[in-house]
Structure 1
């Protein structure tokens, strides 16, 4: 693992510059070396100031987002696809300008529950849009990572296997997958096997519990998750993600169906998550060492 991160929605809905800077401070205070923000609109935030703040705290910034229906690159409507590509290009530039290295999330479709099956034309539009965005991202020094999410948040990429086929279709080695334990727990028959299947094509990883709350309070088998990450020698960023209606913004609450308070006090949650992830990584390393002994 390169850096352990935390999603900013643990701290704030992210509506103001001061809130984002406070989230940076809180993340650093809890021992995290990366923070994940939702799309940072340049017209709303001072990205230079945010970059300086992050640098002073030695906290790296990652950005994740989902496309709106009006900018769905998997649409069959050419104008909608163009709007999506423009939004993605702007997001890449914002990540670059804030000193970040990663743009992830549902970049290949709208972040919504679809009422129709994906079409082949729409998939081809998405593949082409991501391939073009990858060129922009690579030139900007930004990693483009596509988050594989559950069936209620996209109709296009629900499994690691689908994600691998999609990134192969882009023809770009610069596009990788963004896997998430919460989503894998819903869609994958065997999340650990999915991690091993994706292997070095995983560019970013989310740790989240099945109930979106405290790690260890749900049904995800994190021992198998961390064993699999160790088996593929995963050495990139891992970010803890947890949502509660007590903090998260209204738009994400609607998109992700966050209808209740999974927690109300964020500092204990954040400290527990770091300790939990550190422990599970250590335990996985000890299991590998024990199993390797003659």
Structure 2
């Protein structure tokens, strides 16, 4: 497997619900033990995070780091309210700084809205606020040699971008070379026609990938056509990170669990889940390389 080009990652919420020093030590150790190349860390619990200590532990383990987050309705950059937008912009800039402090070069997620069901379509003013805010953030990120990812989420979690075509239009309007699109198979299952055409549409503008089942449990235990998805990744010569994401109410923090509607325990053993997912993804990559 020495010629594998894609770094394989795992979401920290597979192992622990927060980012306290003890939780970070556990998360980093279990990520390394499961054989992953990088850790994706949600910044929902960032006040508890000791950035310097976490960076030292990541470097000692030889792990890469990607940070992600969504926003709250009280700090929503897609709002029509300038004060709400300003709070969201401050949170994004703070999160970018934390990512940089951890040694990361990629900051991704629903950077453009709150995570939750909206009661109305996105307004023209709200979209303009998204573009303006992310244009500023992209400029700051570029100065730090960093990349922003626009994670496409389903209609029940955002009204800003739900498909690859939506994300391309938003990225075009932001107009920054360091803004890439982030696909997630869980969300694609709800919003896209299939698992191939969105990947082909994005091509080299695809910069980050989440792999998760339709129910966010064990890979291969649901109905997603991951074979076609990995065929499509190979067709566009995607060489970026591929990160496994899964949530269970046994692990995810209560606040985030409510935001993501994680109401049941699809698994209780995070390390076993993570090890299984890595082998499953390796198998899909290997099959495409052999084809």
TM-score, scaled to structure 2: 0.96
Structure 1 unaligned segments of length 5 or more: list them.
Answer: 288-294
Q: Kindly state the Cα deviation for residue 2 of structure 1 after the two structures are TM-superposed.
A: 3.4
Deviation (angstroms), 1:41: 6.0
Q: How does 1:155-166 map to 2 (within 5 A)?
A: 155-166=159-170
2:11 to 7, 11, 15: 7
Q: Which residue of 2 aligns with 1:82?
A: 86
Q: Which segments of structure 1 move beyond 6 Å, counting only runs of 4 or more?
A: none
Relative to structure 1, the CA distance from residue 80 to residue 40 in structure 2 (aligned partners, 3 Å threshold; closer, same or farther) is closer
Shift of 1:141: 2.2
Task: Answer whether contact 1:147 1:177 (CA < 8 A) is retained.
Answer: yes
RMSD: 1.1
Match of 1:16 in 2: 20
Q: C-alpha offsets along residues 261-284 of structure 1, whole Å, 9 cap, x if unaligned?
A: 011111221111000000011112
How far does residue 245 in structure 1 lie from its aligned partner after superposition?
0.5
Q: Deviations over 1:131-150 (max 9, x none)?
A: 11001111122210010010
1:207 equivalent in structure 2: 211
Partner of 2:127: 123
Residues matched between the structures, number: 287
Contact kept in structure 2, 1:40 and 1:94, CA below 8 Å = no
CA distance in 2, matches of 1:84, 1:268: 36
- Find the counterpart in structure 2 of residue 274 from structure 1: 278
Contact preservation (8 Å) 1:93, 1:140: no
Residue 48 of structure 2 aligns to a residue in which SS?
Answer: coil
1:145-294 correspondence runs (5 A): 145-287=149-291
Q: Could you tell me how far 1:43 is from its partner in structure 2?
A: 4.3
Name the stretch that deviates more: 13-22 or 198-207.
Answer: 13-22
- 1:292 maps to none
Q: Indicate the SS of the match to 1:191.
A: coil
Question: Residues of 2 paired with 1:140 and 1:251: CA distance?
Answer: 31
Return closer, same or farther for 1:126/1:16 CA change in 2, 3 Å cut-off: same
Paired residues of 2:44 and 2:69 also in contact (CA < 8 A): no
Partner of 1:105: 109
Structure 1 counterpart SS, 2:196: helix
